[in-house]
Amino acid sequence: MSPRPFFSNCVSWCENAPLEVLEWLCENADDIALSDFKGRVDIYDFARLVSDLGYAGDGEMGLKIEDDCHVAYKVERRSGVPFIVHSAIEYVFASPEDIDRIQGFIDMEADLAP
């Protein structure tokens, strides 16, 4: 699987995908290590997000994202879509095909429901 690009955050999610996909991601995620997260995402998109969130980059003074214990790194179990939770905002790294695949999981579960 190629590294996933930044897709959206939860604040502007509805402009990009159905809300139920974001809910699915949050309900079906496991914690992962930062090193695992970095291996799953586009490193340039990740660096841009880190900078946009105000963290110090490599060689810079200040708080680095890896030292912030209030940041969680997650991955949705079935699709493998990774995301960060920072200040109760989800930042999702996914391709449009990933989002479609998750929508398929949701639709399949709805079809199986009594």
* 3-class SS string, 57-92: CCCCCCCCHHHCCCCEEEEECCCCCEEEEECCEEEE
For residue 15, the model assigns a pLDDT of 86
Separation between Cα atoms, residue 17 and residue 110, nearest integer Å: 18
For residue 111, the model assigns a pLDDT of 78
For residue 75, the model assigns a pLDDT of 98
Task: Using 70 as the pLDDT threshold, list the residues of the chain that sit under it.
Answer: 113
For residue 110, the model assigns a pLDDT of 79
For residue 33, the model assigns a pLDDT of 97
Letter string b/e over residues 43-52, b meaning 16 or more CB atoms within 10 A of that residue's CB: eebbeebbee
Residues in the chain: 114
pTM above 0.85, yes or no: yes
Question: Of 29, 27, 17, 12, whose CA–CA distance to 81 is shortest?
Answer: 29
Burial (CB count <10 Å: 0-12, 13-18, 19+), residue 98: buried
For residue 109, the model assigns a pLDDT of 85
Structure tokens at 39: 């291996």
